[in-house]
Amino acid sequence: MEPNTHKLIHSFGALADLGQEVADTGDFMEMVRTSLHLLLGTLAIRRGAVIECPVHLLPGDKSTNLLAVWGLGEDYQPRFDIEESDREAFLNPAKDAWRISSDINQPGVEIFFGLYQTELRSQGIELIVPMVVRGDLTGLVLLGGKASGEPFSPDDIEVLRAMVRHIGVGIHTHRLLAEVKQRAEENERLYQDLRAIYRDTVRAFAAAIDVKDTYTQGHSERVGKYSEIIARELGWGENEVEGIAIAGYLHDIGKLAVERRIINAPYKIDAKESSELNRHPAAGFDILSPIHHPYADIPLMARYHHERLDGRGYPDGLTDTQIPLGAKIVSLADSFDAMTTDRPYKTRRTFDEVVHDLRRNTGSQFEPQVVAAFCRALLKELNGETKERKFLKMLGKNYLDAEKDAPLLRELLNELDPNTQAAAAGGTA
Ligand SMILES: [Fe+2]
């Protein structure tokens, strides 16, 4: 085999490897630089540059972009304006390369060479090979003469065309990947904007619900936050945690359909009023169902937040396994907030009483693993293991007493699951 042929085959193999590297989104600029070295090395050319042409020739944006350079003046940063007539001439398939010495007066390239021939000559550029991919001018490769001083033969030009085309495919692929990435980022931004709008809307709804219920200001927001704490303690993923917080915010939305007089009754309501009030979970489901929520099961969590494990809840009288875990979380969060806030006809319970209530109703009303997660989260805060004081913020300064309350929680946790619960919360029984 001729030594030149051997070298050629080697160079093409190396270029093929580079093509793969580009597909793996390796270092693009490094890929172009290495490709230029390979190309120059193959025909022993001393200097050259790879120039990228703009994707669209816009009036204000028709400048080329330098991707790689070798052997030219130290500060030389070639940058050209490509006119439409230049582009058409460079795309002409009958013309494979442009020699500065003889081709500059060819029709179509008068503007380009009129502007740049002096600059190109002074840099020792002898040949320009257009880089054409899918019928578009992706770039130009500028080349100096061969080290041997011999002119470029037709075979040389053919080899150069093939190698330049190969580099062009790499650049084209890179552009496509960059475009896909940009679109994906735009979509992600749009999606985040939509979610933010959704969350703001949910907050506005929660505020509307709470305004209607004069005695339980901030109830919906607190239920959202307690639900979030429990779900996080249960190891739910970030998206599910966000979803349960939303469900908490919206759980009482059905109260918008209940008479204000009943919601705000400053006395214990009678059976008829109670059945009117108890319509709110089903009404909430009806309000929320037509909406496309970015989280799963929001309407169901509103519908089932007054269901109980023993089947004595409403509106559907479901039992244990029929109730989704999310609804069980919202249910506990809702009850805990009801117990720890003042109501028109009763003041809030002490923490002792709350723990007593939880103990009595776990298994019949509340799901044990949900109660355990709640206790663990609260215990962690009392033990100073959490940075944020979320419970403290919601319950007020003087409600909890770590010294007195932490043992109560540990005791309850041990009853719920003597093997693991208290240990998981970092306490001792
Ligand atoms: Fe409710």
pLDDT tens across 62-96, in order? 889 999 999 997 788 889 999 888 899 999 888 88
CA of 176 to the centre of ligand 1 (A): 52
CA of 304 to the centre of ligand 1 (A): 9
Q: So what's the pLDDT on residue 428?
A: 44
CA of 416 to the centre of ligand 1 (A): 26
CA of 306 to the centre of ligand 1 (A): 6
Q: So what's the pLDDT on residue 278?
A: 94
Q: How far apart are CA 304 and CA 296, in angstroms?
A: 14
What single DSSP character describes residue 336? Answer: H
> Which has more pLDDT, 294 or 245?
245
- Alpha helix stretches (DSSP H) within 55-140: 84-91, 110-122
CA of 277 to the centre of ligand 1 (A): 9
Residue 351 has pLDDT above 80, yes or no: yes
Dihedral angle computed from the Cα positions of residues 234, 237, 238 and 242, in that order, rounded to the nearest 10 degrees = -70
Give all strands (DSSP E) within 2-124, no chain letters.
Answer: 48-52, 65-70, 98-99
CA of 424 to the centre of ligand 1 (A): 31
- Segment 34-46 shows an average pLDDT of 89
The structure tokens 């929520």 sit at 293
CA of 330 to the centre of ligand 1 (A): 9
Question: Hey, what are 139's tokens?
Answer: 């770039």
Nearest to 294 by CA among 234, 242, 221, 226: 242
Residue 419 has pLDDT above 70, yes or no: no
pLDDT averaged over every residue in the chain: 89
Residue 1 has pLDDT above 90, yes or no: no
CA of 263 to the centre of ligand 1 (A): 11
Residue 249 has pLDDT above 90, yes or no: yes
CA of 29 to the centre of ligand 1 (A): 60
The one-letter amino acid code at 163 reads M
CA of 287 to the centre of ligand 1 (A): 14
CA of 141 to the centre of ligand 1 (A): 71
Q: What is the pTM of this model?
A: 0.66
CA of 401 to the centre of ligand 1 (A): 29
87-107 tens-digit pLDDT: 999 998 888 899 998 888 888
